[in-house]
Structure 1
Amino acid sequence: MKKEDTHRFETKAIHSGYDPKEHLDSLTPPIYQTSTFTFPSIEQGSKRFAGSEDGYIYSRLTNPTVTVLEERMAQLEEGEAALAFASGMAAVSAVLMNVTKANDHILCSQGVYGCTFGLLQLLKEKYNIDYTLSQLATAEDITSNIRENTTCIYIETPINPTMKLIDLQLVANLAKEKGIKVVVDNTFSTPYLQKPLKLGCDLVVHSATKYIGGHGDVIGGIVVGDLKVISEIKKTTQKDIGGVISPFDAWLLIRGIKTLAVRMERHCETAEVVARQLKNHSKVKKVYYPGHQSQSDHDVMTKQMKKAGGLLSFELSGTYEETIKVVDKLKLIKIAVSLGDAETLIQHPASMTHAVVPEDIRKRMGISNQLLRLSIGLEAWEDIWGDLEQALNAI
């Protein structure tokens, strides 16, 4: 890890982790599109393999382009070190494998991404690593669900797709008393809006595919934490399982990060307007958006987030068939399961991202058949709302 960058977020997003003098004065980080690196001598190659000398060996282990991405993300999350992966799920898998062993227990927020839920099921079936879904809303919620074999508390906040929030400082304080690691999926907020490590959490994971990349053209994952833990993951799970990111994909994420701050400002600004318009429409039963003062956990948002984010969900008052009709009537807004892109995207969680979750658990998570998730893009808010309005008025 290089010396801490003391610049502000917007400046770090453009400059941190990269010195042109180290790369033939290239303004933009080069793409080191190579699988392996040569050694001047056997002696030097041996030293690098032994870890007694810094240097590159093989791109599954380290790569100069990937290093720039990792150092930049560590600076933005204000962590000691970071690791880049081929996908968000590769990052999540690596972390959960690091903090658990057979017969351990994971305490999770009530809602998690569908593939994360699938991974939890796999860990339970193959390695008897049990998990519990909890609201994590109060100290009692948290402590009553902690077992002797709980080694990890895994949190999404805002939760996908209900946008519920978890008080990270509360969880971190209680977990620290018992020596339990707290892992936070910070994909929805990005380090621009929320910094879990500064609130006492241990590890942050991202699907960098989303807001970090920001353009819908790359798949990637990030883990940030203290140097010791990140080094352990790097030397074991990442090296031996091999879910590493390619240099070109790392380069695309570096490019995306440069505009992260300005994009997040626009996403948040438009989401606030669209959420307000949806709330006032007669066909909408409820809007889930942390920026609404009427939302029960609004105080948590003001305490730990800079703004409420660019995602919202809304539930229609009609039938499932009418819900699907609304989505199919959209013209500008695209039906897709990702988020954080320049384009506004909509999806139906019950039949898409959370289809793998059994119906009874989906209902406990608050995911009804009338719930839709909207990722606000960078288009004019008037055009986004105009498309939603015409579709809602069609039922």
Structure 2
Amino acid sequence: SRALFGSCRYIVEDLLPRFGVTSTLVDGRDIDAWKKAVQPNTKILFLETPSNPTLEVIDIKAVADIAHAAGAKLVIDNVFATPTLQRPMEFGADVVVYSATKHIDGQGRCLGGVVLADQQFISDYLANFLRQTGPSLSPFNAWVMLKSLETLDLRVREHARNAEAVARFLEGHKGIERVFYPGLPSHPQHDLAMSQMEAGGNIVAFEVKGGKAGAFRFSNALQVVKISNNLGDSKSLITHPATTTHQRLTPEAREELGIREGLLRLSVGLEDSADLIEDMERALA
């Protein structure tokens, strides 16, 4: 899918070609585009749903069927949805990846990642590579992650409740051009999202009137919400994708993905939703 986190786009477009690995970027919502992109040598179909930062939702089962018909694997970045709200393997995914730095840690303390797959895949492709190259968590960071997993379900569900309240507020505010949130009925793939997810998640994207200047003015006026490109934290965090996570892309590529100058990505935390709404209302005044 073309709608990937900026670092993933870099890996796919700049890093992997150095090793002879080619790729085709498609509009992940277009199932026919997936079918047309598959080649005889296709090994992996890769997507994230909901996507970063515009929260596009992709039909996991439909893409899984295409991958398996071609003898390929479907790999899904499930960071935004979390394992609490979406379990891609139930819809046919072969491999699921997470940045554990986000919701799994939940407080911005540790760096880590997770690759989930069956034992055969791990033995064939991952175990020896990881052993030889050494991307292993320190014992302390592993302990922090394990402790955080104990509260993941409770935290994520509260995140999602707060996010829906914030999204509804933003959708009704005259200073906002539009809101992207899978849990809102106005989201173009709301029905699909709710068939795959248990709730809309904690990420809300929205366009502030006034373009980049308006987005920066709003972000700088916030007091409860902090500026950071992390997400899934207990604190609410906001970032401007065009100048952070997706700044490597050309303006044309960002426009194609809907990443306009006024777009902000908000990771809704665990503060009281009334406090968050009051903070945003003041910043929009």
Runs of 4+ deviating beyond 4 Å: none
Distance in 1, Cα, partners of 2:24 & 2:169: 36
Distance in 1, Cα, partners of 2:30 & 2:205: 24
Residue 34 of structure 2 corresponds to residue 142 of structure 1 = yes
Deviations 1:222-275 (A, max 9, x none): 000110111223433211222111111111000111001110111010100000
CA contact (8 A) 2:42 2:70 kept: no
Distance in 2, Cα, partners of 1:234 & 1:154: 17
Distance in 2, Cα, partners of 1:183 & 1:391: 39
Query: 2:243 maps to which residue?
Result: 351
**Partner residue of 1:339 out of 231, 247, 258:** 231
Q: Counterpart of 1:237 in 2: which secondary structure?
A: helix
Query: 2:264 maps to which residue?
Result: 372
CA contact (8 A) 2:38 2:70 kept: no
- What are structure 2's unaligned runs of at least 5 residues? none
**Partner residue of 1:257 out of 128, 149, 164:** 149
Deviation, structure 1 residue 360: 1.4
Moved more, 355-364 or 213-222: 355-364
> Percent identity at matched positions?
37
Deviations 1:69-103 (A, max 9, x none): xxxxxxxxxxxxxxxxxxxxxxxxxxxxxxxxxxx
Query: 1:219 maps to which residue?
Result: 111
CA contact (8 A) 1:162 1:288 kept: yes
Deviations 1:104-158 (A, max 9, x none): xxxxx12111111111123344123222221222431210111222211111101
Query: 2:172 maps to which residue?
Result: 280
Query: 2:8 maps to which residue?
Result: 116
Question: What amino acid maps onto 1:254 in structure 2?
Answer: L
Distance in 2, Cα, partners of 1:172 & 1:132: 17
Deviations 1:41-88 (A, max 9, x none): xxxxxxxxxxxxxxxxxxxxxxxxxxxxxxxxxxxxxxxxxxxxxxxx
CA contact (8 A) 1:337 1:352 kept: yes
For the pair shown, the structure with the greater C-alpha radius of gyration is: 1
Deviations 1:313-343 (A, max 9, x none): 0011223212111111111110001111110
**Partner residue of 2:68 out of 176, 196, 214:** 176
Distance in 2, Cα, partners of 1:124 & 1:247: 31
Deviations 1:183-235 (A, max 9, x none): 00011111110111111111000000111111111111000011011122343
Deviations 1:148-193 (A, max 9, x none): 2221111110100001100000000111111111100011111110
- Give me the TM-score of the superposition, normalised by structure 1: 0.70
Moved more, 282-291 or 241-250: 241-250
Query: 1:382 maps to which residue?
Result: 274
Deviations 1:288-330 (A, max 9, x none): 0001112111111111111110111001122321211111111
Question: What amino acid maps onto 1:363 in structure 2?
Answer: E
Distance in 2, Cα, partners of 1:313 & 1:298: 15
Instruction: Give 1:1-395 correspondences, 5 Å limit.
Output: 109-393=1-285
Distance in 1, Cα, partners of 2:99 & 2:16: 23
Q: Counterpart of 2:265 in 1: which secondary structure?
A: strand
Question: What amino acid maps onto 2:211 in structure 1?
Answer: T
CA contact (8 A) 2:3 2:28 kept: no
CA contact (8 A) 2:40 2:70 kept: no
Distance in 2, Cα, partners of 1:138 & 1:342: 34
Distance in 2, Cα, partners of 1:133 & 1:314: 24
Deviations 1:331-365 (A, max 9, x none): 11100011111100000000001112222111111
Distance in 1, Cα, partners of 2:213 & 2:22: 36
CA contact (8 A) 1:123 1:130 kept: no
Q: How many residues align?
A: 285
Question: What amino acid maps onto 2:271 in structure 1?
Answer: E
Q: How large is the RMSD of aligned CA atoms in angstroms?
A: 1.2
